[in-house]
Amino acid sequence: MLPGPILSVWAHPDDETYLAAGVMAAAADAGTRVTCVSATAGELGTPDPLVWPPDRLGRLRRWESRAAMAVLGITDHRFLDFPDGGLAAIDPACGAGTVEALIEELEPATILTFAPHGMTFHEDHRAVSRWVTDAWCRTGCRARLLHAVPEAAHLADFAEDYERWGVFMTDERPVPVPADQLAVHLRLSGCALDRKLAALHAMASQTRPAVELMGDDRYAAQVAVEGFVEVQPS
């Protein structure tokens, strides 16, 4: 079990559910205080902005995330209200300062966020990774910092699915991490997996296309694994 309190910081609502739902739900069930933070509302997360203009989609994704957090037992979910798609243009000192204030307020024992590659090389993901890591350093590396990474066997199994899904934002691909090098490695099944799937299905504006593309069983297997490496103070 991860020491708490836990601060979980991501770019868009659904990032945390894909990458850390199992970890956060288990901690919440154990009575650990978990604060989940979304830098944006994900208001640009659609291929059809005419049907889903940013103000409408942003509202929907806030509602969806509220439902997902309820499934996971997370009662403290905060939005920083930065612009979706614009985090790389934010002054890094501002972004890191915002996270630093959260660390000072919440005094987490564990911090969860993206690795530098952001898992998908999305510039918003990478910016949040930099902010959180910089803030962690600026506050004396007091917490345990965990970066979400792809587990090697899992990535090999699902590489073709990820390509069909189109999750990667550049031609780069994340370096997979062997299971024995992960500080946290969850393979969800049974009720724990059903719970994560329920939270993901609550975010239908983002997850329905992937479920339709992969099918229910393949999608469930794809989201069942969560992996983190521990960052060491430099």
100 — pLDDT class (breaks 50, 70, 90):
very high
Q: What integer is the mean pLDDT of 162-169?
A: 91
**Cα–Cα distance for residue pair 175/4, rounded to 1 Å:** 29
Domains in the chain: boundaries: 6-230
Residue 112: strand, helix, or coil:
strand
**Cα–Cα distance for residue pair 185/68, rounded to 1 Å:** 22
Position 150 scores a pLDDT of 97
pTM for this one? 0.96
**Cα–Cα distance for residue pair 101/104, rounded to 1 Å:** 5
Q: Could you list the beta-strand ranges (E) of 156-222.
A: 184-187
- Nearest CA among 92, 111, 86 for reference residue 10: 111
| DSSP per residue, 38-90 | ESS--TT--S-TTTS-HHHHHHHHHHHHHHHHHHHT--EEEE--PPTT-GGGS
The structure tokens listed for 2 are 């991860």
Q: Answer whether residue 6 shows pLDDT above 80.
A: yes
Q: Answer whether residue 26 shows pLDDT above 90.
A: yes
Q: What integer is the mean pLDDT of 23-31?
A: 98
The structure tokens listed for 168 are 């990667």
Position 234 scores a pLDDT of 80
Mean predicted lDDT score pLDDT of the chain: 97
The structure tokens 């390509």 sit at 163
The structure tokens listed for 124 are 């918003």
pLDDT tens by residue, 114-165: 999 999 999 999 999 999 999 999 999 999 999 999 999 999 999 999 999 8
Do 20 and 146 touch, CB atoms closer than 8 A?
no
- Nearest CA among 123, 48, 113, 116 for reference residue 82: 123
- Nearest CA among 103, 115, 109 for reference residue 19: 115
DSSP tag of 109: S
**Which of these CATH numbers, 2.40.70.10, 1.10.10.1400, 2.60.40.420, 3.40.50.10320, describes 6-230?**
3.40.50.10320
